[in-house]
Amino acid sequence: MFFYHSKVNLTIVLLGATNFSNFAYEVQVTLVQGDRAGTIFRVDDTNHTFYFFGIDNQGNYVLDIHNQNSSITLKSGTNSAINTTADQANVLGVVANGSQIDLYMNRQKIDSVTDTTLSQGVVGVAVYDSTNPTSATFTNAKVWTF
| pLDDT given for residue 20 in this prediction | 95
Percent with pLDDT over 70 in the chain: 93
pLDDT at 73 over 80: yes
Which residue type sits at 97? N
**Sequence-distant (≥ 6) Cβ neighbours of residue 53 within 8 angstroms:** 38, 39, 40, 41, 61, 62, 63, 92, 94, 103
- Who wins on pLDDT, 105 or 127? 105
Per-residue pLDDT of 38-67, as tens digits, reads: 999 999 988 889 999 999 989 999 999 998
For residues 38 and 47, the answer to whether their CB atoms sit within 8 Å is no
Give the Cα separation of 129 and 5 in Å (integer). Answer: 10
pLDDT at 72 over 80: yes
Domain housing 25: 2-145
Task: Provide the pLDDT confidence category of residue 111 given band limits of 50, 70 and 90.
Answer: very high
- Report the CATH number at residue 84: 2.60.120.560
Task: Provide the pLDDT confidence category of residue 91 given band limits of 50, 70 and 90.
Answer: very high
Q: What is the 3-state secondary structure (H, E, C) of 71-114?
A: EEEEEEEECCCCCCCCCCEEEEEEEEECCEEEEEECCEEEEEEE
Number of domains in the chain: 1
